[in-house]
Amino acid sequence: MQYTPAVEDFVTCLKRSGLIAESEADSIIDGLAQAGVDVTEPKKIAAALVRNETLTKWQAENLLRGKRRGFMLGKYRLLGLLGRGANSSVYIAEHSMMRRRCAIKVLPVKSRSSSGLPRFQQEARAVALLDHTNIVRAYDLGQEKDGKAVIHYFVMELVEGESFEERLVREGPLPAVEAANLIRQAADGLAHAHAVGIIHRDVKPANLLIDRLGVVKILDLGLAKISDILATDESPVLGTADFMAPEQALDAKTADARSDVYSLGCTFYFLLCGQVPFAGGTLSERLVRHLFETPVALARKRSDLPEDLTSIVQRMLIKNPAERIQTTAEVSNLLRNWLLRHADRNWLRANPALLNSGRAGETQESTASAGDAVPGRAASAGSAVPIEGSGDAFQLVPVMDPPGSAAGFLDSHEFDIPISPVTRSLMKNREHSTWRTWLARASKRFRRE
């Protein structure tokens, strides 16, 4: 069959793509012609191949652009692009033999820096260590030559659903029971990761998915800390500013399970009121506020929230990690017991796992409030200090005084970073050089994102 030059180019791309057997291309085009398709135009051929499911729309569009490679990774056929970030791209794919669909994360060539590839491989290893309902499962890790380049990728469970962030955008702040159940599931998954020595370090609404059955799936362990093994060139500032624990903002190497508790608390706050704890201002300023300021109380944003639920969020957001809820397992248990007390019977019947778990520890935990003493918690001079004229709902909490702090007042112009006057006033006893270094580093890091 004679092709026009444009169709010839398209058919050549199709043959070399690996999406069909090269020997079958001409017969496929003949079949389209016999079915009445105008095979003198590449776009009409591509549209027909999408309709009969020979190609996906993404594949057809790239073939029309003249792309011949990049549709196959080993035994996996790429079907479409799910998302692209600064350090990787994620595709929906299908195993060529088993026909099982999956998600494949691919490391771009430009991201293979001294830390990029090791971190990518570390994420794959971290996911592979975990086997839990609430964590996206890993299937495979591999590399494939594409011309002179080597493509690194790993294969994960495909979750069809939406992220916490997408649900909130679609529905607005969530009902208390729904939000508590989502956070409970995320806490269960994180507890499993912590039990095998993995700290997530980037817990946020965009990294928590809800599948079509309402099951939460934790993904993106690209910043995970595996036990105490860290790259020597790892940046001291890792994570997402709006959800980052104070101690992690100072040095990511010090992050532990309690840092994930704080980030999950920020996510909980976001689900309940539709705002991050510290909205507005520059990224660097928001980081500083995580260190010093307490967010506006949830009760002021939503009067319908039960006090025993908002107290759990407050305890997750305590600045000092020693005074915070210590484990995500404890968060899960608190929320499970809260749901047993507050959810209606129909909801509980639809979630029998909660009923089967019983009310273990409820007597002891349900009597505790945000202001109650926690075993092992010592009173300190760094307790909450109300802002004059602000009421009880907004407080500043000085934390983590560095040893040998020198008196000195830090003005924002010294760093070229906007800092609120209230926050700046609490910084006056901080060591000058320490804050200069940290703020400059944090500002540089987050302006790149």
The string of DSSP codes covering 418-434 is: ---HHHHHHTTTS-HHH
Distance, in Å, from the CA atom of 375 to the CA atom of 371, rounded to the nearest integer, reads 13
- Segment (H or E) for 293: none
Q: Give per-residue pLDDT as tens, 132-177.
A: 999 988 888 888 877 777 888 888 888 889 999 999 999 999 999 9
Answer yes or no: 202 catalytic: yes
Q: Give per-residue pLDDT as tens, 225-258.
A: 655 444 444 444 456 778 888 888 777 777 888 9
Q: 90 and 104 in contact (C-beta within 8 Å)?
A: yes
Report pLDDT for 439. 58
What one-letter code names the amino acid at 42?
Answer: P
List of residues 6+ apart from 310 with CB closer than 8 A: 297, 298, 299, 370
Q: Read off φ and ψ for residue 447, nearest 5 degrees.
A: -70, -20
What integer is the mean pLDDT of 439-447? 54
Report the relative pairing of strands 161-163 and 149-156 from DSSP bridges.
unpaired
Distance, in Å, from the CA atom of 357 to the CA atom of 42, rounded to the nearest integer, reads 59
- Segment (H or E) for 209: strand 208-211
Question: Which tokens belong to 2?
Answer: 């004679």
Q: According to the per-residue pLDDT averaged within each range, which of 334-338, 346-350, 406-410, 436-440 is highest?
A: 334-338
C-alpha of 295 from chain center: 21
Distance, in Å, from the CA atom of 353 to the CA atom of 186, rounded to the nearest integer, reads 15
Q: How many CB atoms lie within 10 A of CB 241?
A: 23
Distance, in Å, from the CA atom of 437 to the CA atom of 135, rounded to the nearest integer, reads 36
Candidate CATH numbers 3.30.200.20, 2.30.110.10, 2.60.120.560, 3.20.20.70; the one for domain 73-156:
3.30.200.20
Distance, in Å, from the CA atom of 188 to the CA atom of 113, rounded to the nearest integer, reads 34
Reported confidence tier of residue 408, pLDDT bands at 50, 70, 90: very low
Q: 266 and 242 in contact (C-beta within 8 Å)?
A: yes
Which residue is catalytic, options 9, 38, 140, 202?
202
Q: What is the pTM of this model?
A: 0.72
Domain borders along the chain are 5-64, 73-156, 161-374
- CA dihedral over 105, 110, 111, 117, signed as positive or negative: positive
Q: Give per-residue pLDDT as tens, 76-121.
A: 999 999 887 666 788 999 998 888 999 988 887 665 555 567 777 7
Q: What is the DSSP string of 214-235?
A: S-EEE---TT-EETTB--TT--
Q: How many H-runs (helices) and E-runs (strands) does the chain carry? A: 18, 13
Closest CA to 244 of 438, 36, 35: 438
Reported confidence tier of residue 63, pLDDT bands at 50, 70, 90: very high
Distance, in Å, from the CA atom of 177 to the CA atom of 284, rounded to the nearest integer, reads 34
Average model confidence (pLDDT) for the chain? 76
- The fold of 161-374 is Transferase(Phosphotransferase); domain 1 (1.10.510)
Strands (E), 48-178: 72-73, 76-84, 89-95, 101-107, 138-146, 149-156, 161-163
Dihedral angle, C-alpha 184, 258, 301, 366, nearest 10 °: 60
Per the DSSP assignment, residues forming a β-bridge with 145 are 150
Q: 266 and 248 in contact (C-beta within 8 Å)?
A: no
Report pLDDT for 178. 95
C-alpha separations of 369 from 334, 364, 365 in Å: 11, 11, 8
Question: Which tokens belong to 53?
Answer: 């499911």
The answer to whether domain 73-156 and domain 161-374 are alike in fold is no
Report pLDDT for 61. 93
Q: 37 and 50 in contact (C-beta within 8 Å)?
A: no
Q: Give per-residue pLDDT as tens, 349-405.
A: 888 877 665 443 333 333 333 333 333 333 333 333 333 333 333 333 333 333 333
Q: 64 and 132 in contact (C-beta within 8 Å)?
A: no
